[in-house]
A and B are shown apart, each in its own frame.
Chain A
């Protein structure tokens, strides 16, 4: 475990501050809680860590109705009931353990090597979910009640937790995590990100597109502001249009606004403003 440190991956542009926080969290064996606007690469970070350290990645996508037990393990009662009734399966009905399936957290705990565990969008679940998770994260173990067995981590996974919420998670939960807020990348950083995604992209196009993108983000009254993902898709769209030249962007003639703005009100607003500007 020691000696491994994270310094970025092939498709992920990392700023030094975040790299350090990741490394410290790994050394302290504490989960890292990431917040930030959608599209700032919270989820991507976990993928990048897994890739660069060569660890398997387990993703737990939290859903609103999720109970923690589902993330730990599931006891497949129905199958057992069926097996006991018809007796045509190879499983041993009297052995409950054969009917326990590990959830994502459980898999990370019993894995033979250190894994990266991404708990994505934890704010979606009830606060109960976080509260229940406290002990599991603290002790790095949980009990399977049905077979009275405690599952301990063989290798403490690198845990990355993301949250989109503006509101804070519960205090005891926060106390067990390290925290970082990923700010929206500035144009310079964005240029690097674009370069990573489009290695052969002409400088003029990248410059003009990023410039136009940040201007569009500034528009008043936009509910869902376009993020990195939208910009990347937009550039892809621009590239695929044979008639397109970067000069058009400078003249405020912006095609494919629908790629950037996903809400109809936002789209109308953006079209209105850009058309007004183009007239001058």
Chain B
């Protein structure tokens, strides 16, 4: 049962697993679900494992149950037909009455519920098949086209609403904020970057090393000697190089700012440098790119195990990257084309990646992005991109 529902969720990108689906059925079998509202809550708790998909779930749910109470065992086809008929009836009673060959006034007298029942009867007549109205869920007094049912498009047909129906709740899309499209916040970044660490023993020796203690004690012929070690602390060296020049990076300033803030709080040994568009012989320690120049030769003296993260849109005129004197600054005439400098950096630091705030769908349209992407593994500056980038940085 509800296999359609399961596959609809899956098709719309909600990661649902068969195990969870079986669990849902376990819940159904135990009689834990008495109404559609219950079904909404329970199926979400069991099937959907992240609030990021709640919004999607709400949409699929609202679509699947489209305002009706749970469908009969006969399946959706009938329901859909009846709904379509009802819709047509509301729009143009005369036409439908004519089509069915009955008097419009006769139908007018019926309440909406009776109307739906009537349509159903008529449909059953036509298909001559009715597999018995075995209902799957509970007997909480909810008929398939209940008193408080909804019109397909969310319009009420009749009756007083007692409670908010699950579908209506689903239609509210309360979880829109949590869906995947949301902006990258500090805490999300924290999550993604958390795994980026390198543990080394540091600080006071205050942890007992049991193995060594036993070994030493044995060596002392049973005279206890307790060996202490120091705790593991994160000692990862990180270089963050940020493109902060020109208007092309302007839209991404808040995003990069967040990354920068987080990185500064997180990493003990973090060096931040700045550049504009791409790197020539020097990068800058100050954000105005004026006071503290650092040449690449100086940079290359740092620990080669340092993780280097470039952040930039990598979008520029191709000559800036390729030409010998490509820099847009007249004072920067080093002789080496920027692409050679980047290659030098990539060779010096094997754990180097490039984060690009430009959405990856737009990468193929900018030539310099693909050129730089050949030198450094390039990742999108999103939560998923960050995760991949971190995996890459931590790879041996």
Contact = CB atoms under 8 A, between A and B. Distances in A.
B45 A24 contact: yes
A44 interface: no
Contact of B191 (A28, A32, A167, A183): A167
Interface string B324-367: 00000000000000000000000000000000000000000000
A32 B232 CA distance: 32
B45 A167 contact: no
A179 B17 contact: no
A167 B383 contact: yes
Nearest to A178: B45
A233 interface: no
A168 B52 contact: yes
Given A25-B45, A181-B51, A183-B174, A165 B38 contact: no
Contact of A175 (B19, B185, B387): B19
Interface in A216-254: 223
Interface string A168-183: 1001001101111101
The size class of the interface chain B forms with chain A is 35 or more
Contacts of A25: 45
B191 A166 contact: yes
B242 interface: no
Interface centre among B51, B188, B217, B383 (most CB of A within 10 A): B51
Interface string A146-169: 000000000000000000111110
Given A78-B208, A171-B49, A174-B50, 15 more contacts: A20-B41, A21-B41, A23-B32, A24-B32, A28-B23, A28-B26, A30-B23, A36-B51, A123-B191, A166-B188, A167-B383, A168-B52, A175-B17, A179-B45, A180-B45
6 contacts: A28-B26, A33-B49, A78-B226, A82-B224, A127-B195, A168-B52
Interface of B: 15, 17, 19-20, 23, 26-27, 30, 32, 38, 41-42, 45-46, 48-52, 54, 174-175, 178, 185-188, 191-192, 195, 208, 210, 213-214, 217, 222, 224, 226, 231-232, 383, 387
Interface of A: 17, 20-21, 23-25, 27-28, 30, 32-33, 35-36, 65, 77-78, 81-82, 85, 123, 127, 164-168, 171, 174-175, 177-181, 183, 223
